[in-house]
Amino acid sequence: MKEGIRSIIIASPMRTNHAQRFIDHIHRHHIWLVQGPNKAILSEAIGSAGTLSEVVAMTRTSMFHRLIEETTSEETESLIDILEKHLHASNQETSVLYSLEETGDLIFGPWKPGRPKPEYLMLTDRYLSDSCEKNRIHRLMQIAKSRNIKTRIVAAESTAGLRLTQLGGMVCLCTS
């Protein structure tokens, strides 16, 4: 969760309810995990995942790929909620950067008190593939990850991707 991963898939063997009981436990006793802007998205997968070979076999199923798609879609919608809150904030504690130059200057440059600190870097897969500055974007994402800035590449066809496309295809969310 510290790195920004908020999609959690819990596997349990067929004819058991271990995963559902664990999810219920989280909803009852660790509500902070599943509410608020930094909530985790929990999903349940049927199958055994006790060994590496079982995990590999499970990840190759179409059911698992569908579950991943649904879970990451929900996670992305949470990120768009965060984006909308940044866009509609009337205070000077949050800001949104739209250009590669501004974002690069902020991420590559030294962080000083009083200067915005980037939290999220979000871009669409189409922005990345169509850009003539792919190397710069990849370097920016690499530096962002090493500086603990959460990065997300969103499918341009998704609801979140359409919203990011309206904003130019890339945004950087910052706090002061």
Dihedral sign from CA coordinates of 64, 66, 68, 70: negative
Question: Do 151 and 144 contact (CB within 8 A), yes or no?
Answer: yes
| Cβ neighbours of 145 (radius 10 Å) | 14
What is the three-class DSSP state of 9? strand
Looking at 3.40.190.10, 3.20.20.150, 3.40.50.1000, 3.30.1330.30, the CATH number of the domain 91-175 comes to 3.30.1330.30
Residue count of the chain? 176
pLDDT tens string 87-98 = 887 667 788 889
What is the three-class DSSP state of 2? coil
% of the chain exceeding 90 in pLDDT: 24
Say if pTM beats, i.e. exceeds, 0.85.
no
Outline which parts of the chain fall under CATH 3.30.1330.30: 91-175
